Every structure is written in structure tokens, then in C-alpha cells.
Amino acid sequence: MFKGSNVALITPFKNNELDVDAYLKLIHFHLENGTNGLVPAGTTGESPTLNHKEHEKVIEICINEAKGKIPVIAGTGSNSTEEAVSLTKHAEKAGADGALVVTPYYNKPTQDGLYQHYKKINDNTNIPIIIYNIPSRCVIDMSVDTMARLFELKNIVGVKDATGDLNRLDQTIKKLGSEFIQLTGEDGLAFKFNQRGGVGIISVTANIAPKMCSDMQKYSKSDSQSEIKEAEKIDQMLQPLHKSLFIESNPAPTKYAAKLLGLCSDEIRLPLVNIKKETEEEVEKALSSIKLLK
């Protein structure tokens, strides 16, 4: 169910409020351009600065508008286990196809603490759960052994791996097998990740270039050598855009790119701020290089 190009949706704002019209426009932009799955209320969706009501609304709107056409994987993670349980329960009730649950940040739990955190969520819900392992933001790194323990539970189905370490992918496949869903969280490694056994991505760049990202994903898993070469070609074309979207903290550059494409404003919530002029120029240059900006 969870494979290919899944977009980590940005959350558009207008006067510091959720811009519902722009959000609906974004969802349809993805439905029309081959995106394989929608991931609302993740880090790229500025979940740390959404209040609970907004968090739930963002997820509900996405599910209702997608109408089952493509899967919705709701961001429901928190460093509070009880809050993560509550958010995951809400996503399940709202009709999400899965939940993306980030490792608890700031608390720095042990590996057993990580296990118990996810087990508590697993035991209180009946929805597929994808672990989000991103040591650069959360300080902690879930081990392959801990993932193997979690995979024995009924709802734990896979991982969004944002370690940036392709060897981790090899180790996880070796220990957990191919049934454990492996999605990368690193746009720049998407092609290589799939070539080594991954099945897709939860992507930031897909906010801006959904068709190219979905085509790259599709072709990268093809049995045709010509299509694999096409995937590699698209991947190389996208590399400057990947880089430009992470010059400053995500999703500020992505929102600027979305503004240039007429998708939504670049309004972002503190403590994040709008990008610098030199970053704007790099984003514009990257968009022009793949003919998204004329």
C-alpha cells in the first residue's frame, strides 16, 4: 500500500491561519500529478507549531479531499507518548490509511524506551504505523534490532529512514526482510535507495515537482533497463532542486518555491523565518533548470 512518491505536505497559512483554499488546491495538485500518497501534519507540514485543533483539521481535510484515491499517512508523532496515542487514535477515526510516528525528540529515550513508546501506540490503535527515524532532528537513532522487535507487533509495518545511511537499508533488509516497508526521507538518495531495495519515499521535493518525483519512483522499480535509465536521468535533474530546498530549514525554501509556482504563499510560522535573498536565488535557479519556472 505504501510505496512510490508520498509527499510530506506543506501546510499553507494566510494571516497565521490555515489557508483551506490553498490546502485543497495543493491536494488536487498531487492527485493530478501522480503522487502515490499524501502525508499531512508531518515536520514539513510544520506540525510543531500547529495547535491540536489545527493538527486534526489538516488531517481530516486531507482524508476527506483525497476520497480514497491515494493513501493518506497522517503525521501523529510526539515526544509525549500519550499525545502520540491520542493523535493516532484521531487519525484512525478520521479514516487515515496509516500513521507516521516520529521517534520521541528531546526526551532521549533508550532503545527500550523507544520500543515501549511505539508499543503503547500499537496497543491502543488498529492502524498501520510507520516509524520515522530521523536522528538529525531527534538526537536519537532507532537501532535495527529495536525495529525488528517492533515489527513483531501487529501494526508496525515499516520505516521512513532519514539517517542518510544506505548501509542501514541493507542491514534492515537483512534482518527484517522485504515485507518491512522501507521509505527514504532523503530526496537526494531516492534513486539509490530504491535500487538497493527500498520501495519509495516520503518526499519534500514532491511538493514542488510531483510529476517528476512520481515518474522517477515508478521507473526506478521497473524491470526495463531503459526505464531505470530514465529514472536515473530524472534523479540527476532533480538534484539541484533537492539541494536548494534544504539550504535553510525545511519547509521555508519549499514554501518559497510553492509561492513562485502559484500554489500558496510562503508564510511560515516562528521560530522558522522566510529565507534569505541568496537562498531565493538558488531556489529560482533550480526551478528554472528543470523548466518549472519560466
**C-alpha R_g of the chain:** 18
Which of 3, 57, 160, 255 is flagged as catalytic?
A: 160
118 is catalytic: no
Residue 92 is predicted with a pLDDT of 98
Catalogue all structural domains in the chain, each as residue range(s) with its CATH number.
4-222 (3.20.20.70)
Return the residue matching grid coordinates 501523529. 76
Is 160 designated active site?
Answer: yes
> For position 294, what pLDDT does the model report?
74
What would the pLDDT profile of 66-82 be if each residue is shown by its tens digit?
999 999 999 999 999 99
* Catalytic position from the list 23, 115, 118, 132: 132
Q: With both helix axes pointing from N to C terminus, report the angle between 111-123 and 144-151 in degrees, rounded to the nearest 10.
A: 20
Quote the cell numbers at residue 267: 508564510
| Tens-place pLDDT, residues 80-117 | 999 999 999 999 999 999 999 999 999 999 999 999 99
Widest CA span in the chain: 52
Taking alpha carbons only, the member of 253, 255, 245, 260 closest to residue 292 is 260
- Sequence-separated contacts (24+) of 162-166 with Cβ below 8 Å: 162/132, 162/133, 162/134, 162/135, 162/136, 162/137, 162/186, 163/133, 163/134, 163/135, 164/136, 164/189, 166/192, 166/193, 166/196
pLDDT of the residue at 178 = 94
Which stretches of the chain score pLDDT less than 70?
none
- Order of strands across the sheet with 73-75? 37-39, 4-8, 200-203, 181-184, 156-161, 129-133, 98-102, 73-75
In this prediction, residue 173 carries a pLDDT of 97
Backbone angles phi, psi at 142, to 5 degrees: -75, 130
Identity of residue 163 = T
Prediction pTM value = 0.97
